Amino acid sequence: MLASKLPFKEFTALLNPHSRRIVAGIALSAIGRGMTLSLLMVYLHDMRGFTISFGGLLMGWGALFGIVCTAPLGALVDRIGPKKVMLAGLLMTGFSALAFAFVTTHTHAFIAMTLFAFGGQCVWPSQMVILTRVTPVKDRTKIFGFNFMLMNLGLGVGGFLSAIIIREDSIFSYQIMYFIDSLTYLVFIFFIWGLDTPHAGKYIAKEHEPDKGSYRELFAIKELSILTIAGIILLTFGYGPLQSGLPVYATQYLNLAPNWLGIIFGVNTFAIVAFQPLVLKLIANYSKYTALIAVAVIWALSWLVVGISPYLSMLMAGIALCISQLIFAFGEMVHAPTSPALTQELAPEHIRGRASALTSLQWGISGIAGPAIAGLMIGAHLEQLWVLLMAFGVLLPIPFFAYLKRIKK
């Protein structure tokens, strides 16, 4: 009876026992990540005494190490199945979150980030493969959108919890958040451990299909290669600097209290929960490539609003950042269901793990460039130039998407 009254009933109706475990675990782990991710550089700088530049480079290192792991882990998913890889990744990610709570030296920080990056590269392609396999093709865009909505609900809850828990001069308040983050990953393990479906194991090729694949075969798909390059550019200037540069920009340049970060990112995530069903209905009327062009324009507008904030009073600056993240959320709501759906459409089943790793590669490369640029430019007091660079750079992939749209007609 309650389910019939939910505003996203049309999405919950698409879930089966297997996809339900995946999306529930993602939402749960997102609560912990929402508490910690946006505050990592603030925590390292204010509580542990590391420089802002080091924080940016540390996040860049995590992304770089993740890239190194991407190809072999994607192949491993195809070789032994996503469930085994995902269990190992969740265990490692849980322990890395716990390690961040006790970081005191640069070496400790690098070890914790390395474990986190490796674990994340195990989890991401594995969960995408399972979710794709257990969902009919016609429903995948909606499932990806619904999964993104639930993940952001978790991030929003985590963000608001962090605003309640954080005390500016209390290391223990930050440690509590990392304890909770670690626990959510460990609970996710039990969800995946009980996943009983052949789709979670190694794919068994049919008679007409090859039983082995390679990245050469994957890159031979021209559309997929172009989509990957365009995605890297889009995420580098759009999403890559969001969790690293914007928190420092808000707290160090605008002098906003750290508690503002929970509110700013909370606006973003709760907007996604409220409007994702509507956005999915709107983009159903357009090609996926047109949708990605719209993402670039929306994200550019969001960064321009960030650029206005220093010219306002402190309260209005905080509100401006909230508005920027509200705008940014609409771009995310278009990107999240569209990009992975396109990748999965273009990828053959026997190399789906590699294709999902390719998607992860986009986030990994942007995770290097975004935080590194933010750390170096903000550290050099070029905050406004950094914002303008993000607003311009996010428009660069539009010609790639336009070209793909033309050749797919």
Token pair in block for residue 35 = 């508490």
Banded model confidence at residue 62, pLDDT cuts 50, 70, 90: confident
Nearest Cα neighbor of 326 from 256, 370, 279, 389 is 279
Whole-number Å distance between alpha carbons of 153 and 147: 10
Whether the per-residue pLDDT at 126 is higher than 50: the answer is: yes
**pLDDT number for residue 320:** 95
User: Cα–Cα–Cα angle for 152, 155, 161, nearest 5°?
Assistant: 145
Q: Which of 170-174, 295-299, 353-357, 383-387 has the highest mean pLDDT?
A: 295-299
Within a domain: residue 207? no
- In the chain, what percentage of residues exceed pLDDT 90? 32
The boundaries of the domain holding residue 155 are: 17-201+213-407
Whether residue 144 is contained in a domain is answered as yes
DSSP line for 224-250: HHHHHHHHHHHHHHTTTTTTTHHHHII
DSSP state for residue 105 in the 8-state scheme: S
Return the structure tokens found at 2. 């309650």
CB atoms under 10 Å from CB of 408, counted, come to: 11
395 located within any domain: yes
Average pLDDT for residues 327-350, to the nearest whole number? Answer: 88
Contacts of 319 by beta carbon, 8 Å cutoff, 6+ apart:
none
Tens-digit pLDDT profile for residues 220-266: 888 888 999 999 999 999 988 887 788 888 888 888 888 788 788 87
139 token code pair: 């429903």
Residue 7 lies in a domain: no
The answer to whether residue 10 scores a pLDDT higher than 70 is no
pLDDT band at 209 (very low <50, low <70, confident <90, very high): low
Q: Is the pLDDT of residue 337 over 80?
A: yes
**pLDDT, mean over the chain:** 86
Choice among 56-65, 196-205, 277-286, 358-367 with the minimum mean pLDDT: 196-205
pLDDT in tens, 89-118: 999 999 999 999 999 899 999 999 999 999
Would residue 3 count as lying in a domain?
no
**Domains in the chain, number:** 1
User: At which residue do the structure tokens 């493969």 appear?
Assistant: 129
DSSP 192-203: HHT---GGGS--
Query: Is 357 inside any structural domain?
Result: yes
pLDDT of residue 3: 41
Task: Establish if 235 belongs to a structural domain.
Answer: yes
- In whole angstroms, give the CA distance from residue 349 to residue 333: 26
68 pLDDT exceeds 60?
yes
Is the Cα dihedral 223, 228, 231, 233 positive or negative?
negative
pLDDT-based confidence at residue 67 (cuts at 50, 70, 90):
confident
Q: What is the pLDDT of residue 306?
A: 94
pTM reported for the whole predicted model: 0.79
Domain holding 189: CATH number?
A: 1.20.1250.20
61 lies in some domain: yes
pLDDT band at 204 (very low <50, low <70, confident <90, very high): low
